Amino acid sequence: MAGSSESRREPDDAGRWCSCRLPRHVHPSTLNTRNNLAEAAEIRGDYAGADTLHAQVLEARRRVLGPEHPDALRSQERLAFVRGKLGRTEEAEAMAREVVAVLTRTKGPSFWVTIEAEDVLGYLLMEQGRLPEAEGIFRRLRETLARETPDDEFSIALTGAHLGAVLARQGKRAEAESLLVENLPGINDGGVERDYLTGILVDMYDDWDRAEPGKGDGARAAEWR
């Protein structure tokens, strides 16, 4: 995710921003700065701080731009992701589904926020244990990305790794390993999401090494740690 220099403030500074409500008449640059801070908080795993900031930006964007404006819906989609990370998965799922439905109708299924929201929805289903549903979403997304936006390397890598994670949880480990090894290097934001997905791959190698020592899986786990 892109961020301005404001998004690289220290966490305490971001916390001071969180404590301030946005004025009713807010300049777009203020919203962009607050959004960048929210995304920076996401990347470093400060989901409580990101929740506060995304909620503030969402309320302001709905008021200023309208609830179906793509920027407002992007804020809703990021808030859904953060709330999923905070364990509020059913609420987050409803928010993500609304974004997907509105943007599919207004912008189409290949619009970048539609794709991002579908990826979030797949993640939320995975976290609820609804693995076949999540797998279906990620497979469909990979087809859409390959067809419509083949140059969007980050989204392709993230969706591929998420599909690998879902398959790993279903015991489909050969395909899961292939997808994770192929796609993890493309998730280059340096954030906790890459760490989370890498951990799934490492856990698979550790499991294989315990079951059948001496086949090199322990060394492969060490390479990815």
pLDDT of 175? 97
pLDDT of 11? 36
pLDDT of 16? 38
Please enumerate in sequence order all residues whose Cβ is within 8 A of that of 105, keeping only pairs 6 or more positions apart, or say none.
Answer: none
Helix axes 70-85, 89-106, angle to 10 degrees: 160
Q: Average pLDDT across each block of 10 residues of the chain; the chain has 225 residues. List them in order.
A: 31 40 60 89 93 95 94 97 96 98 96 95 96 97 93 93 96 96 88 90 96 95 95
pLDDT of 104? 96
CA–CA separation, 169 and 68 (whole Å): 35
Q: Indicate the Cα dihedral angle 225, 167, 153, 140, nearest 10°.
A: -170
CA–CA separation, 127 and 169 (whole Å): 10
Q: How far apart are the first and last CA of the chain?
A: 23
pLDDT of 14? 41
Give the predicted TM-score (pTM) of the model: 0.81
